[in-house]
Amino acid sequence: CPILTVVSVLSPFAPTDCARWCPLNSRCVNATACRCSPGFTSLSGDVFTNRLENCDDIDECGPPLAVSCGKFADCQNTEGSFYCKCRPGYLLASGAKAFRNESENTCQDVDKCQRKPRLCKGRSICINTQGNYTCRCPPGLELNLSDPNVCSDVNECTSGQNPCHNTTHCLNNIGSYECRCLPGWKPIPGSPNGPNNTVCEDVDECSFRPPVCHNSTVCVNTVGSYRCRCRRGWELKPGFQNKQMNTTCQGTWSDLTPGLSHFFKKVQVLRRDFKPALAQGTIQGLIEGVDELLQTPQDLEALPRSEQRRVATNLLAGLEDVLRNISQALPNGTLTFSASAGTDLSLKVQEQGDRNVTLSLNQAKMLLSLDEVHESSDSGPSVVGLVSTPGMAKLLAEAPLILDPKQQTVLREHKGLLGDVSPVLLSDVVSAFVSNKDTQNLGSPVTFIFSHHAVMPRPTQKVLCVFWEHSQDGGGHWSTTGCRMAATGDASTTCQCSHLSSFAVLMAHGHVQEEDPVLAVITYMGLGLSLLCLLLAALTFLLCKAIQNTSTSLHLQLSICLFLAHLLFLTAINQTKIKLLCAIIAGALHYLYLASFTWMLLDGLHLFLTARNLTVVNYSSVSRFMNRLMFPVGYGVPALIVAISAASRPSLYGTPTSCWLRPEKMFIWSFLGPVCTIISVNLVLFFMTLRILQSKLSSLNSDVSTLQNTRMLTFKATAQLLILGCTWCLGLLQVGPAARVMAYLFTIINSLQGAFIFLVYCLLSQQVREQYRKWFRGVRKAKAESEKYTLSSRAVSDASTPNTVGSRSAPTALP
């Protein structure tokens, strides 16, 4: 029944039924009761028999137990147990995650700022604290309100947190700012540009080079900027505004000078009154107006050179355009217009006929083919004009000259010509034009024949055919592009050009450094003395029988070569007018100086062989060897070098200023190369000779005559090397600050080479001095005998004079 069932439920279990009714987290005890598992408890205690009891978890971390885990740790309750865990920011020393009680607590702080990835992002600075960290920002940054781990830039320029001066501009940077000068301003002297103490001042842009404004304008400085306004006599170009930075103007010229104002008024009258039937009168009036303007150009000459060139450029271009247009109204034929001051115009108008046209003026002639300048699409007659404006030379007198690359290559040969060209006009300025405006690249050249005053160009001067080329600033310059000189004489020059423009003949002067007069005097006096000494030395070597040997023969040939070289240098070094003759002189000097050095080399070789043979006492073999060798080598080797040089580079013999070798293409080394080689070989030979003599001195008596002679020869040859050879090294050292000193040393020593040879090989030789004494005694004896004979003859004559007189007078005494 139900009542029995309930009773059976509420009544205690039978012993065998204990495990069936014990709740979760408990176990049977003696089959009659249940015990809660460790960490759990019931309301009845740990052991209970009531079926309705439950085992609940014991919270060891809360009261009343409140387990203590120690510093920097917290108790963590679990189901039936608990554990201790270090607080955030701390870790156990062992690296374990948990521990049971305070005695096991080893929690210590962890440096959070070393974590990866970084906790503080961007430019923020991480600061570790006990169990935590803080992000701080450097100056100029602040923490982001939405993310305290990120720093954001502080804009000092907008927040007003900058002390920039009012002449500067605040420029914000990440974390900082700069105080920069505004455009048109610059730091005052001593002030930086950027720090907060920067102070600026206005920049005068008008003082800049190159100018900031167009050449057609005048710069006006303003505070922090500048403006460009048109020059007086100029007007704005279409599309530009005045007083702007990019203002560009074009010349009106009418108000520039009184002369131009008068000229333009006259042109306006001619334009107003122009009628096709009166075209010839209009052209004549225009030519007279130009002639009058250029005849008395005092007001134009008062303008700056750049303004003068602009006036000339516009005048030439405008004159061509006006004449081209008016000439269309002229009848067929050739017309000539002249003015009092020399301005001339020759025009030819034709529709058919000879296509080769020749126009002549007083000082110029032009030949061209109409087929090259007349377009097939052109309607109307063909017009060819040539106008001469002699007065234009005053405006273009100092205009610059620009050479085309080919002309530069030619003129590079003329010393100093490219450094600072100063062109001088030789002819009138003539302008050529045709009805067709496109004449910049003609199929066949136009020929111009200019008459001018007679000139004889010097070596550093060049006659050039040039044309007036317009420049972007409204001015212009002389140019040789497209023009060449076909022929030139004393008073005429023929030019050929591949385009039409305004042409002239000018002479370009090269600014050559003037010759040092002191060096010139030293050269001529020294070489004159050397020639005399070389002549005396050669005669001594040739006539003094006592000293004639192989060494003397070598010295004789050296003296002859140096004598001829110095003589040719003195008399012909400047004979540059005839190029072929100058080249021959340069080749002869090349040969003679190389021969001198070759004989010096043979002298050194002979000395070395003589010293070497002291050990075997075999002098005859040296003499035989040198006699066979010296003439083929002494004169043959230099001849071979000069022949090869002349065959390979014949055009490099002779310069515009002297008959010597050109420096181009390293040609000068055809002389310096062998010279340096000979000097080097001689140095080696002399050192070897000195070594042999040193060893010989230690084993022989120093009074031995052969050894003494060899020592004297060594001294003389060494001195010869220093004077004749090493002095050329001074020529190579004529650079830099010491160039002038080296030039004087080189000139003095080289010009006295002959005197040195006479001194060393003649005056210092005892045998030669004795021979000179014999010659002087013989001369005195002969002179004394001559005087004695003269006296005796005079005495005899005096003694015989009375008898002669008596005999002659006797007859007259007879009655």
Query: Which band of pLDDT confidence, cut at 50, 70 and 90, is reported for residue 64?
Result: confident
Task: Report H helices in 90-162.
Answer: 156-159
- Paired sense of beta strands 364-369 and 446-451, if any: antiparallel
H or E element in which residue 803 lies: helix 766-813
Query: Which band of pLDDT confidence, cut at 50, 70 and 90, is reported for residue 417?
Result: very low
Domain 2-57: which CATH class?
mainly beta
Q: Helix or strand or coil: residue 454?
A: coil
Tokens of 3: 């009542």
Q: Helix or strand or coil: residue 166?
A: coil
Q: Residue 408 gets which letter from DSSP?
A: H
> Between 331 and 639, where is the model more confident?
639
pLDDT of residue 714: 60
Q: What is the pLDDT of residues 688-714, one digit of tens each?
A: 877 777 776 555 554 455 555 555 656
Q: What is the pLDDT of residues 315-342, one digit of tens each?
A: 888 888 888 888 888 888 889 999 988 8
For the chain, the helix, strand and coil percentages under 3-state DSSP, each to the nearest 5: 45, 20, 35
**Terminal CA-to-CA distance of the chain, rounded, Å?**
241
Do 473 and 214 touch, CB atoms closer than 8 A?
yes
The architecture in CATH of the region 258-509 reads Sandwich (2.60)
Tokens of 267: 């042109």
What is 217-251's CATH number, 3.30.1600.10, 2.40.30.20, 2.10.25.10, 3.40.1550.10?
A: 2.10.25.10
Tokens of 357: 């046209």
729-to-590, 673, 675, 725 alpha-carbon distances in Å: 17, 12, 10, 8
CATH fold of 158-203 reads Laminin (2.10.25)
pLDDT of residue 11: 44
Residue spans in the chain of domains classed CATH 2.10.25.10:
2-57, 158-203, 217-251
d(CA 653, CA 671): 12
pLDDT of residue 226: 86
Q: Which residues contact 211 (CB under 8 A, 6 or more apart)?
A: 219
Do 291 and 391 touch, CB atoms closer than 8 A?
yes
Instruction: Output phi, psi for 564, to 5 deg.
Output: -65, -40
Q: Residue 393 gets which letter from DSSP?
A: G
Whether omega before 64 lies within 30 degrees of 0, making that bond cis, reads yes
Residue spans in the chain of domains classed CATH 2.60.220.50:
258-509
Q: What is the pLDDT of residues 490-514, one digit of tens each?
A: 889 999 998 899 999 888 765 545 5
Q: Which residues contact 4 (CB under 8 A, 6 or more apart)?
A: none
d(CA 295, CA 273): 25
d(CA 509, CA 523): 27
pTM for this one? 0.45
Q: Which residues contact 671 (CB under 8 A, 6 or more apart)?
A: 590, 593, 594, 661
pLDDT of residue 716: 60
Do 726 and 709 touch, CB atoms closer than 8 A?
no
pLDDT of residue 15: 45
Q: Residue 661 gets which letter from DSSP?
A: B
Q: What sign has the CA pseudo-torsion 481, 483, 489, 491?
A: negative
**CATH 1.20.1070.10 applies to domain 522-771:** yes
> Between 617 and 475, where is the model more confident?
475
Q: What is the pLDDT of residues 558-600, one digit of tens each?
A: 889 989 998 998 898 888 888 899 999 999 999 998 998 898 8
d(CA 353, CA 362): 25
Q: What is the pLDDT of residues 180-222, one digit of tens each?
A: 888 888 898 888 888 888 899 888 888 887 888 887 788 888 8
d(CA 448, CA 474): 26
Residue spans in the chain of domains classed CATH 1.20.1070.10:
522-771
Phi and psi based region of residue 481 (left: phi greater than 0; alpha: psi -120 to 50; beta: remaining): beta
